[in-house]
Structure 1
Amino acid sequence: MTSSNRGTAVDRSDIQKAALAVGAVFLLVGILGFVPGITTDYDQMSFAGHESMAMLLGVFQVSVLHNIVHLLFGVAGIVAARAARSSYLYLVGGGVIYLVLWLYGLIVDKDSDGNFVPVNNADNWLHLLLGLGMIALGVLLSRRTATTTTGRGRGL
Structure 2
Amino acid sequence: MSTRVRSSGTARSPIQWAALAVGAVFLLVGVLGFIPGVTTDYDSLRWAGHRSHAQLFGIFTVSVLHNVVHLVFGILGLLAATGAAAARTFLLGGGVIYLALWLYGLLVDEHSDANFVPLDDADNWLHLGLGLGMIALGLILPRRPKTTTTTGTLADDR
Q: Same fold by TM (over 0.5)?
A: yes
Greater relative contact order structure (CA < 8 Å, 6+ sep) = 2
Provide the secondary structure at the position in 2 that maps to 1:145: coil
Which has a greater percent of helix?
A: 1
Deviations 1:99-143 (A, max 9, x none): 0000000000110110000011000000000000000001001xx
RMSD: 1.7
TM-score, structure 1 as length reference:
0.86
CA distance in 2, matches of 1:103, 1:26: 20
Write out the 4+ residue segments of structure 1 that deviate beyond 2 Å after TM superposition.
144-149
- Structure 2: 5+ residue stretches without partners: 1-6, 148-158
The 5 Å alignment of 1:11-90 reads: 11-90=11-90
CA distance in 2, matches of 1:70, 1:113: 21
CA distance in 1, matches of 2:39, 2:145: 43
Is 2:123 the counterpart of 1:123? yes
For the pair shown, the structure with the greater C-alpha radius of gyration is: 2
TM-score, structure 2 as length reference:
0.85
Is 2:100 the counterpart of 1:100? yes
Aligned counterpart for 1:145 among listed residues 131, 143, 155: 143
Q: How many residues align?
A: 141
Deviations 1:47-98 (A, max 9, x none): 0000000000000000000000000000000000000000000000000000
CA distance in 1, matches of 2:20, 2:116: 28
Which has a greater percent of strand?
A: 2
